[in-house]
Amino acid sequence: MCGIVGFIGEPIKGKIITGALKKLEYRGYDSWGVAFLSGKKITFFKAVGEINGIPKKIQEIKSGLAIGHTRWATHGKINEVNAHPHVSAGNKLTLVHNGIIENFSELKKELCSHNFCSETDSEVVLHLIEENLSKGMDLLHSVSKSVSVLKGSFSLLVFSSDEPDKLIAVKNESPLLLGISDKGIFAASDQIPLSSFTDKFVFLEDKDIALISKNKFQCFDFDLNKVERKILKVKSDVTSSGKLKYSHFMLKEIMEQPFVLRNALEQEKKIFNEIFLMMKNSSVFFIANGTSFNASLFGKEFFSRISGIFPQVIDASEFPYQVDFLPKNSLIFALSQSGETADVLDSVKKAKKKGFKIVSMVNVFNSSLARASDKVIYLNCGEEIGVASTKAFTSQIALLYLLASSCAGKFDSALTELKKVFLKMQQSIELNKNSIKFLSEKFKSVKDVYFIGRSLNYPLALEAALKLKEISYIHAEAFPAGSLKHGPLALISDGVPVIVVAPKDSVFSDTINNAIEAKSRGAFIVGIGDEENPVFDFFIKIPKVKELLFPLILIPPLQLLAFHTAVFLERNPDKPRNLAKVCTVK
């Protein structure tokens, strides 16, 4: 969940490190810190909150060896003491960590002679390395011996003032890569903070230790046997060069969805055909978390209706408890924007042990999930910086529809249909920009919002509720419209908003009847669809499209509703409290 960055090479200004770290804030923004080798000593700075108000001396400091960290708290309160980097008592060793050390309590007891300053699990690793250094080992061997006793997920960056020509990077079940530049070698949690410095990357594998100097690197396993890791050239993504004219990344990413859809559809038909051959005689299980889980529900609907394949959807955090009971011909279809979601990767690892085939749909090139898969469909939607996923969701829906159609021999016709949706999606956004703002301002004072829908519209209601709750902090829930009478109607009282996802489709009449039931109990009914109805107190109009494509037109206004509500409540939709973009802990 945290973000880490490091550098070794020609002396650079501190603002390059803090600037790179700023681009990792979507991974965590509880606290942050940096450490530089300045002469023969380590200079460090730590602060609580977002990366703002950076002291001039930190921005202007020149160093050829540095590490930084932006934190999403897992162990210990949010304060400067628990912020990274952690620095040894003698100020000679420093470390940043992303992940969770599961056996830190036991290790801490073994290190009882050491003085611990923080409540974090990460500081245990610092003292382990320090203990091994005290026994006469060099830094590389001290790190190797230390990580061999760790249990859990971790990526680490470590340096010592006693060995100023070395930066050590360690990866195990948390993402870490190297970026090879003219100035030196960077390390970071992902490519985003490094893309302005290089297009050459080394993707470390689990149980890798990289020994990095100014102009070269060597990779080893935890026993210090040499392993080869290739330098890959990765094309820079031009769709995410800042917020442009928008106030927030989330708004930018919502508004660019029509254009993103066109990029997402740049797919090779051959890959889709190959995946169909894998799926046709398999028991298919979608696994995902959060927004990707909601997208998987659409996949289930599309495949069932179009191709005659009947997948099941399992939350990735629950999959490990079911994997032993799945049939031998299972195919696991994993969805993840980042490709680094810990629950998904853990599930895939367990599925591979059972011999199951793995297909993934992911946005980030060469991510851990992509590398673990037999076949990959890339979303091609560009960097998504806002913590709440938007454009990745629409790309997932579009590509799941295309894949389901391809499995029915209709790839070309589906591609043509989806390309026509581009203009309709634009209209859906333009038609509702002002009315959504008006409705959002009304929502400022509400405590609860309920979303209902039937069939394809139910997963859409789930996603709309997720968006509203995660960035506005308003309690929001979604229900199948027909289930209101089985309990949720007890929650309805005068003025409570109920948002009814009701395009004019095959379930429209039944959905309207459920809306009438809610209104009779005093609900304020907001309808979203292509045809108004007297039951609606407020109506969000969208263009008419084919029934199975309605989700692509319906979702942008619902995302805008969540966004503007958060803004009216003076909450930052890009960085919702307690959340992070990439969930690299289970």
Measured distance CA(271)–CA(407) in Å, rounded: 11
Helices (H), 324-456: 342-353, 368-372, 391-407, 411-442
Measured distance CA(50)–CA(47) in Å, rounded: 8
Show the tokens assigned to 196.
Answer: 């302005």
**Smallest Cα–Cα separation from 395: which of 466, 458, 337?**
337
Measured distance CA(53)–CA(543) in Å, rounded: 46
Q: In what order do the strands lie in the sheet with 177-180?
A: 41-48, 31-38, 62-71, 3-13, 184-188, 177-180, 200-203, 231-233
Can 581 be counted among the known catalytic residues? yes
Measured distance CA(172)–CA(155) in Å, rounded: 6
On the 0-12 / 13-18 / 19+ scale of CB atoms within 10 A, 48 is: middle
Task: Identify the sign of the CA torsion 282, 288, 292, 296.
Answer: positive
Contacts of residue 113, Cβ cutoff 8 Å, sequence gap at least 6: none
Can 117 be counted among the known catalytic residues? no
Q: Give me the amino acid identity at 394.
A: T
Pairing of strands 357-362, 330-336: parallel
Angle between helix axes 411-442 and 257-264 (nearest 10 degrees) is: 160
**Smallest Cα–Cα separation from 68: which of 139, 115, 12, 107?**
12
Q: In what order do the strands lie in the sheet with 226-227?
A: 86-87, 93-101, 152-160, 167-172, 208-212, 217-221, 226-227
User: Does a cis peptide bond (omega within 30 degrees of 0) precede residue 85?
Assistant: yes
Catalytic residue (choose from 235, 581, 583, 586): 581
DSSP string covering 435-455, please? HHHHHHHHGGG-SEEEEEE-T
Pairing of strands 283-288, 312-315: parallel
State the catalytic residues. 2, 581
